[in-house]
Amino acid sequence: MCFKVSCRQVLSRDIREMDNNNAKYINTVINGKAISAPEDLSVIQALWHSGYPRIKSVGCLEGVCGACCVMIRRNGAPGVSMELGCQVLIEEGMQVVFLAFPTPAKQSYKLEDIKNSWEVQSKFHEIFPEAESCRHCGGCNSTCPKAIDVERAVILATKGRFREAGDLFDECVLCNLCQSACPESIAPNYVGIFSRRVTAHLHTRPSNLINRLEDLRKGELKVIF
């Protein structure tokens, strides 16, 4: 079972304090190392508890940055799942492997080169020619730790429905797992970014936003940092 947690909530306590608290200990294997740690710790916190160095400012610990991708096999479960190490609590017999961050996507483009909405679809296929080869295998969906319907988003984008495609990526943390899983080397998360960017680029911004920016420009609205 997967629990969504906020590491920051648990971090407000000193992890080692839990040793004196009659906490139940859980036995796991993380990156091949047997670790026994108090229950209620996330995978990352269990690593820290075992003495793994805590390096600050490299991850959000809130399930947002996508820097802590792990592959998990649960006790007795037939398969593995992809999750975020800061968002899953350790369980008895759980086996965890941290995944290396994959190579970023190679696509590059300038939004300014897309002059109007008539050109978007042809530009998309120039930039992401592999997207049309989607096999509908569902590999991207099954690896996504945010349960995004990635396959559907790719299909929508290939049909030029960029607003709908982009909306599906609202929760995307850019962990790149969908890209790693794709047998056609499609980078669905970058398809998502493209969809969101062209939607914003080619559509009128919300009037409230425009009015606020205008107020700022005129000095009628102060922003205090």
Nearest to 167 by CA among 140, 191, 132: 191
Residues 90-109 that bind ligand SF4 (CB under 6 A): none
Residues 161-180 that bind ligand SF4 (CB under 6 A): 172-178
Residue whose CB is less far from ligand FES, 38 or 63: 63
What residues form DSSP beta bridges with 29?
34, 95
CA 205 to CA 90: how far, in whole Å?
44
What's the min distance (Å) between Cβ of 90 and ligand SF4?
22
Half-sphere exposure of 58 (CA within 13 A, CB side): 8
Residue whose CB is less far from ligand FES, 47 or 131: 47
State the residues that interact with ligand FES by CB under 6 A: 59-61, 63-68, 84-86, 173
CA 196 to CA 193: how far, in whole Å?
5
3-state secondary structure of 26: strand
What's the min distance (Å) between Cβ of 61 and ligand FES?
5
Binding stretches for ligand SF4 (CB under 6 A): 66, 134-140, 143-146, 148, 150-151, 154, 172-178, 181-184, 186, 188-189
